Chains A and B, each alone.
Chain A
Amino acid sequence: MSYVGQPPGKPAEQTVSASGAVLAESHAGAHTISRRWLLFNAGIALNGIVGVVLAVPVVRYLLAPWKKDSSYDSWVSLGATDAFPVGDTRLAFYKNPSSNPWDGQTDNVACYVRRESSDQFRVFAVNCAHLGCPVRWFPQSQLFMCPCHGGVYYADGSRASGPPERGLFTYSWKIASGQLQIDAGQMPTLSNTAKLVKISIGHGDCSCSG
């Protein structure tokens, strides 16, 4: 912004009378520097600086939940390994480790535990890999079925039919002092997978194995 007329920074030397100053302003318009306009611009600049300084904590507050998945995860126990018979898929529950006192029932998270052998487990999230609805296990047909859009998975979690693009999400697990533990805390989605699982569109094996 360029100014014509009196040089900046010397308000004390303006000897023009009040009415003259008004006249000068009204004749020369906003391009004439005057003490008033200078102070006005200084006020805008001050508010701008304060605004920028205030914006930092505000933006930080707004973006606070944006964290790496692992910072939300920790190891939680699903109970004794004896509670999970070999070859079965059972529903297990845990309280989400990242919780607030007013969460109510939303901290009761469920997961499916499949014990493949005495020391091998697979823990699936109940969230369908399509859009997150809770899948249901049917032991008779050994299938997981999702009620929302019809996704179906085999017992090993691989996709059997429907809109899901991948198999069920799984959790990392470990056995610690007789308890089955999983690394959990983050709701699994396509971007926040609990653990990477190869995408498989399996058709199951033929039963004629002999």
Chain B
Amino acid sequence: MQRIKQTAIRIYGWLELRLQLEGPVKDAALHPVPRNTASWWYVFGSAAFTLLFLQIFTGILLALVYVPSAGEAWNSLNILNHQIPLGWFLRAMHGWGSNFMVAIVLIHMAQVFLFGAYKFPRELTWILGVFLLLMTLGMAFTGQVLRFDQDAYWGLGIGASIMSRVPFIGGGLVHLLLGGPIISGPTLSRFFALHVFVIPGTLLLFVFLHVWMVLKLGINEWPMPGRLVQRSTYIQEYHQLAHEDGIPFVPGAFWKDLIFSGAVLAAVAVCAFVFGPFGPGGQPDPSIIQTVPKPDFFFLWIYTVLSYLPPAMETPFILIVPLLGIAFLLALPFWAAEGEKSWHRRPVALLAVSTIAVCWGVLTHLGATTPWSPHMSAWSSDPIPVRYLQSATPLVRQGAAVFQAKQCRNCHSIGGAGGERGPALDEVATTMTIDQLRFKVVTGGGNMPAYGKNLSPAEIEAVVRFLETLHPANEPPAYDASRRAVETSQAVDRAPKPANRNAAP
């Protein structure tokens, strides 16, 4: 036992004489950090670091089998899922790892922002962090494409369409993105090169610099209300804090990083085991039209925004807003480099983060349920509920048949089944008179197409008569007051006249 220990020490000594890493490593591990930075709020950066290496490791393992060829990628993914032992688990780890990565990176960014860690002298750390965020999203997008199925294929088309909106050079940029005129072999190859070589290389460089600066400048101290950051005094104050009230980073603060990183890895593994890998979905064949492409969860908010933007605002919004957002993030440490760090004294910051978080959550939820999408098969699935037709005249029944056959149900629901793009029509007769219904069906308006050309006059009459019956039993349908006056006077004209007393018997 002693001999083994001696040998180990000698080997270590041999390596250390040549590598001379012991000094820097010890410095990094044992450097003093302010006591209250040993907090659970500070673990997200290291968790992101851990996930990065998990992704690199699982990615390399996947690359041993995955074929980045447009013709074979889908097949190789299915072989990974079904034929390689635990290939499904590896794919699941990589997919869930990426979901966790985006979430942890966003949480880390929010925490750093709320703790004022972008202020002097950590402005460059923040700026590199913004680029790291963009690169993480770039990895998420390129990774999604490499899972080359229908969602990836049409998602690429959406990316190309967004690129095409850049003025003047849009067409050329589309060609660069796709590596040609259409989504094909060269497209997947360049996304593979981006996802495996270009972005990870840049990521590793930026991560190294980011962590280097955290070590050199020290971790952000716990923000105290009233303790202002000032360029002239900060470095001295921080040095004092770290050395007089400091604890060694390892093990003082690092144990929390270790535990959280371990927990995150375990969580990824549990999700991978329980939920399995993502897809691949249908074959990436553009001639398969019956498909509803959707992005991964972290892009659902963009999906929602692009659905709700009015057409005229679409291009300016897509081109300008992301640039403004990124410019703001990059400029933040320069116009807010000094001052209060604590969120107790920064209401605007707190409000901004909560508003963005709520908006992001709502947009993501909407993107998951997609109420704006017509339900493509609603017109041929659920029948009209029987209770609506029980005492219906033949014309009303015919109207119900027209309603069903003309895909109205794709956008409008009746009896709880149908699309959500337009309003539910169960009580439409209480809000629209029969003339308004006729007008609406014929001319459309808002987000409804005009059906005047697609329905014959008889069909229009029938469907309107059917819609007129859609009201609760105890409520009469909407009625135009002027029609009532006309019909009353017509009734008076038609009523039998009282006998003329002066007439001859």
Residues of A within 8 A of B (CB): 63, 65-67, 69, 72-73, 91, 93, 96, 98-110, 126-127, 130-136, 138, 140-143, 145, 147-150, 152, 154-155, 159-165, 185-187, 189-192, 202-208
Distance in angstroms between the alpha carbons of A109 and B165 in the assembled complex: 23
Min CB–CB distance A170 → chain B (angstroms):
17
Q: Which segment of B2-10, B64-72, B484-492 sits at the interface?
A: B64-72
Besides A105-B71, A203-B445, 20 more A-B contacts (Cβ < 8 Å) are A66-B175, A66-B176, A96-B181, A103-B184, A104-B69, A104-B284, A106-B187, A135-B289, A138-B407, A143-B454, A148-B307, A148-B373, A163-B308, A163-B314, A189-B170, A204-B453, A206-B442, A206-B443, A207-B455, A208-B452
Distance in angstroms between the alpha carbons of A203 and B376 in the assembled complex: 22
| In contact, B421 and A150 (Cβ under 8 angstroms) | yes
> Which of B172, B449, B451, B453 touches A66 (beta carbons < 8 Å)?
B172
Distance in angstroms between the alpha carbons of A67 and B410 in the assembled complex: 41
- Residues of A contacting B70 in the complex (Cβ-Cβ under 8 angstroms): 102-106
- Residues of A contacting B186 in the complex (Cβ-Cβ under 8 angstroms): 65, 100
- Residues of B contacting A149 in the complex (Cβ-Cβ under 8 angstroms): 303, 306-307, 372-373
| In contact, A203 and B307 (Cβ under 8 angstroms) | no
- Residues of B contacting A142 in the complex (Cβ-Cβ under 8 angstroms): 453-454
| In contact, B176 and A63 (Cβ under 8 angstroms) | yes
> Which of B72, B171, B406 touches A192 (beta carbons < 8 Å)?
B171
Determine the residue in chain B with the shortest Cβ distance to A126: B289
Known: A103-B71, A163-B309, A187-B183. A204 touches B444 (CB 8 A): yes
At the interface, yes or no: B312 with Cβ under 8 Å from chain A? yes
Distance in angstroms between the alpha carbons of A131 and B172 in the assembled complex: 17
Distance in angstroms between the alpha carbons of A136 and B181 in the assembled complex: 23
- Residues of A contacting B445 in the complex (Cβ-Cβ under 8 angstroms): 203
- Residues of A contacting B314 in the complex (Cβ-Cβ under 8 angstroms): 130, 163, 165
Min CB–CB distance B430 → chain A (angstroms):
24
Determine the residue in chain A with the shortest Cβ distance to B175: A65
- Residues of A contacting B323 in the complex (Cβ-Cβ under 8 angstroms): none
Known: A65-B175, A186-B181. A134 touches B286 (CB 8 A): yes
- Residues of B contacting A189 in the complex (Cβ-Cβ under 8 angstroms): 160-161, 163-164, 170-171, 174
At the interface, yes or no: B476 with Cβ under 8 Å from chain A? no
Known: A140-B406, A191-B165. A108 touches B184 (CB 8 A): no
- Residues of B contacting A138 in the complex (Cβ-Cβ under 8 angstroms): 379, 407, 410
Q: Which of B180-220 contact A (CB under 8 A)?
A: 180-187
- Residues of A contacting B171 in the complex (Cβ-Cβ under 8 angstroms): 69, 189, 191-192
Known: A148-B373, A203-B450. A108 touches B175 (CB 8 A): no
Distance in angstroms between the alpha carbons of A154 and B181 in the assembled complex: 27
- Residues of A contacting B444 in the complex (Cβ-Cβ under 8 angstroms): 160-161, 203-204
- Residues of A contacting B449 in the complex (Cβ-Cβ under 8 angstroms): 143, 152, 154, 160-161, 204
Min CB–CB distance A157 → chain B (angstroms):
13
Distance in angstroms between the alpha carbons of A109 and B456 in the assembled complex: 35
| In contact, A108 and B286 (Cβ under 8 angstroms) | yes
| In contact, A131 and B158 (Cβ under 8 angstroms) | yes
| In contact, B450 and A160 (Cβ under 8 angstroms) | yes
- Residues of B contacting A162 in the complex (Cβ-Cβ under 8 angstroms): 372, 447
Q: Which segment of B29-37, B111-119, B290-298, B324-332 sits at the interface?
A: B290-298
Could you tell me the dominant secondary structure of chain A's interface residues?
loop
| In contact, A109 and B287 (Cβ under 8 angstroms) | yes
- Residues of B contacting A63 in the complex (Cβ-Cβ under 8 angstroms): 176
Residues of B within 8 A of A (CB): 69-72, 74, 153-154, 157-158, 160-166, 170-172, 174-176, 178-187, 283-287, 289-293, 303, 306-312, 314-315, 372-374, 376, 379, 405-408, 410, 421, 442-457, 460
| In contact, B175 and A132 (Cβ under 8 angstroms) | no
Distance in angstroms between the alpha carbons of A204 and B455 in the assembled complex: 11
Determine the residue in chain B with the shortest Cβ distance to A105: B285
Closest 9 CB pairs of A and B: A104-B71, A160-B449, A189-B164, A191-B170, A132-B157, A204-B450, A72-B181, A149-B307, A191-B171
- Residues of A contacting B448 in the complex (Cβ-Cβ under 8 angstroms): 161
- Residues of A contacting B306 in the complex (Cβ-Cβ under 8 angstroms): 130-131, 149, 163
- Residues of B contacting A67 in the complex (Cβ-Cβ under 8 angstroms): 175
**What are some 20 contacts across the A-B interface (CB < 8 A)?**
A65-B178, A96-B181, A100-B184, A109-B286, A110-B287, A130-B161, A131-B158, A133-B154, A134-B154, A136-B289, A142-B454, A150-B421, A186-B181, A187-B181, A189-B164, A189-B174, A190-B164, A190-B165, A203-B445, A203-B450
Determine the residue in chain B with the shortest Cβ distance to A190: B164
- Residues of A contacting B74 in the complex (Cβ-Cβ under 8 angstroms): 104
Distance in angstroms between the alpha carbons of A147 and B154 in the assembled complex: 12
Which of the listed residues A135, A154, A192 has the most CB atoms from chain B within 10 Å of its own CB?
Answer: A192
Distance in angstroms between the alpha carbons of A202 and B179 in the assembled complex: 36
Distance in angstroms between the alpha carbons of A73 and B284 in the assembled complex: 22
| In contact, A143 and B407 (Cβ under 8 angstroms) | yes
Which of the listed residues A106, A155, A185, A186 has the most CB atoms from chain B within 10 Å of its own CB?
Answer: A106
Distance in angstroms between the alpha carbons of A132 and B314 in the assembled complex: 14
Known: A63-B176, A138-B407, A190-B170. A148 touches B292 (CB 8 A): yes
Distance in angstroms between the alpha carbons of A145 and B290 in the assembled complex: 11
| In contact, B287 and A207 (Cβ under 8 angstroms) | no
Known: A147-B374, A164-B311, A165-B314. A104 touches B174 (CB 8 A): no
Determine the residue in chain A with the shortest Cβ distance to B304: A149
Determine the residue in chain B with the shortest Cβ distance to A149: B307
| In contact, B307 and A150 (Cβ under 8 angstroms) | yes
| In contact, B460 and A207 (Cβ under 8 angstroms) | yes
Min CB–CB distance B150 → chain A (angstroms):
9
Which of the listed residues A126, A135, A143, A154 has the most CB atoms from chain B within 10 Å of its own CB?
Answer: A143
Distance in angstroms between the alpha carbons of A152 and B408 in the assembled complex: 13
| In contact, B376 and A147 (Cβ under 8 angstroms) | yes
| In contact, A136 and B376 (Cβ under 8 angstroms) | yes
- Residues of A contacting B153 in the complex (Cβ-Cβ under 8 angstroms): 106
- Residues of B contacting A190 in the complex (Cβ-Cβ under 8 angstroms): 161, 164-165, 170, 315
Distance in angstroms between the alpha carbons of A202 and B303 in the assembled complex: 26
Known: A105-B284, A106-B153, A206-B452. A131 touches B161 (CB 8 A): yes
Distance in angstroms between the alpha carbons of A104 and B283 in the assembled complex: 10
| In contact, A165 and B312 (Cβ under 8 angstroms) | yes
Min CB–CB distance A82 → chain B (angstroms):
21
